[in-house]
Amino acid sequence: MRVLGIDPGLRKTGYAVIEKHRQGLFYMMYGEIGPDKGAPLSHSLMTIYNRLLDVIRETKPDCMAVEDVFYGKNVKSLIKQSHVRGVILLAGAHSGTPIFEYSPLEIKKAVVGYGRAEKSQVQKMVKAILNLTELPPLDAADAMAVSICHANFVKVVPV
């Protein structure tokens, strides 16, 4: 099973593709989509949408797992993050990829074992779980964590 994990963010949207086999979890690719600094919101959203469609076409995931909105105190940031999630969900739906959503608490608990873990703890656990040689960038690590979370929740036995 191939899972595309997404960590939505306007400045940087992290993405990661992992595969689940009987032997374990393996990463295929990861990265961050960073629209041009100071670009209008519409341009940033279009950049994220188009790049995700490219990743979907390139990797052909069986499903997409997306982090749900984090409820912070800054309403303006929450609204912008919701816009980003909207184009992410649209890209998945447009490509016919089944979409699953997980809260930050579920993701951290699945990867670190503690729902209030720090970003650096998630980053280190992702490196260990996927046997990476170096720490991935923070947003890409978060996307890997989303993928791992989904792979752990799925009851389908991989080939």
Average pLDDT, whole number, for the chain?
Answer: 92
pLDDT at 47 over 50: yes
76: confidence class by pLDDT, cuts 50, 70, 90: confident
> Which of these is catalytic: 7, 19, 32, 142?
7
For residue 129, the model assigns a pLDDT of 95
pLDDT at 10 over 50: yes
Of 9-13, 19-23, 151-155, the range with the lowest mean pLDDT is 151-155
Does the annotation count 7 as an active-site position?
A: yes
pLDDT at 39 over 90: yes
Mean pLDDT on 20-38: 93
| Burial tier of 56 (Cβ tally within 10 Å: 0-12, 13-18, 19+) | buried
For residue 116, the model assigns a pLDDT of 84
Phi and psi (nearest 5°) for 65?
-115, 130
> DSSP characters for the chain?
-EEEEEE--SS-EEEEEEEEETTEEEEEEEEEE-PPTT--HHHHHHHHHHHHHHHHHHH--SEEEEEPPP--S-HHHHHHHHHHHHHHHHHHHHTT--EEEE-HHHHHHHHTS-TT--HHHHHHHHHHHTT-SSPPPHHHHHHHHHHHHHHHH--PPP-
For residue 156, the model assigns a pLDDT of 56
Mean pLDDT on 35-60: 96
Does the annotation count 139 as an active-site position?
A: yes
Using a pLDDT cut of 70, give the percent of the chain over it: 94
Pairing status of strand 63-67 against strand 2-7:
parallel
> Which of these is catalytic: 19, 67, 106, 142?
67
> Which of these is catalytic: 19, 32, 106, 139?
139
For residue 159, the model assigns a pLDDT of 46
